[in-house]
């Protein structure tokens, strides 16, 4: 039986670039955030060997888009409604979503990353990057 529950790093690639998201699927409910500022909410279900994605993503004004359209000037919500075979899901290979013109790669990551997929996810990601920035500056200040 195919299971989709877990914490994932999701790499997305389309005509205008790439993005990275952290998503959690728990009991069929997907939540997540990406580095372009989008937030994801929806359901992922498995039935008769098919994995069904019914996910909305909302981008803030000025959000970075990877599929070749200009940035949004207002809050914008779009939907992903896509089905793949359980075999394709389990393969770990890129999933092509023709309607969006993008590829997604779901990679399981430790559950410790799940906080980055929640309502405070952007603060979690910002803290990680701010700490890394400080450490690099400290390292560079001593000439390494």
**Residues 8-31 pLDDT 10s:** 999 999 998 899 999 999 999 999
**Does pLDDT of 100 surpass 90?**
no
Distance CA 21, CA 58 (A): 13
pLDDT at 26: 96
Q: Residue 92 domain-assigned?
A: yes
Domain region containing 78: 6-141
What span, in angstroms and rounded, lies between the C-alpha atoms of 129 and 73? Answer: 26
Least confident of 41-45, 71-75, 78-82, 135-139: 71-75
- pLDDT(1) > 70: no
pLDDT of the residue at 10: 95
Residue 1 covered by a domain: no
Q: How many domains does the chain have?
A: 1
Q: Is residue 104 part of a domain?
A: yes
pLDDT band at 68 (very low <50, low <70, confident <90, very high): low
In angstroms, the CA 92 to CA 70 distance is: 31
């Amino acid at each position: 039986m195919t299971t989709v529950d877990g914490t994932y790093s999701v790499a997305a690639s389309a005509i205008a670039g790439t993005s990275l998201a952290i998503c959690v699927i728990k009991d069929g409910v997907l939540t997540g955030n990406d580095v372009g500022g989008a937030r994801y909410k929806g359901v992922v279900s498995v039935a008769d060997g098919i994995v069904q994605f019914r996910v909305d993503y909302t981008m803030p004004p000025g959000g970075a888009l990877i599929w070749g359209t200009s940035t949004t000037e207002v809050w914008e919500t779009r939907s992903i409604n896509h089905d793949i075979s359980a075999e394709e899901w389990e393969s770990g290979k890129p999933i092509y979503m023709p309607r969006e013109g993008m590829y997604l790669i779901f990679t399981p990551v430790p559950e410790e990353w799940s906080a980055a997929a929640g309502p405070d996810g952007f603060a979690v990601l910002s803290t990680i990057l701010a700490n890394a920035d400080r450490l690099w500056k400290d390292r560079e200040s001593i000439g390494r």
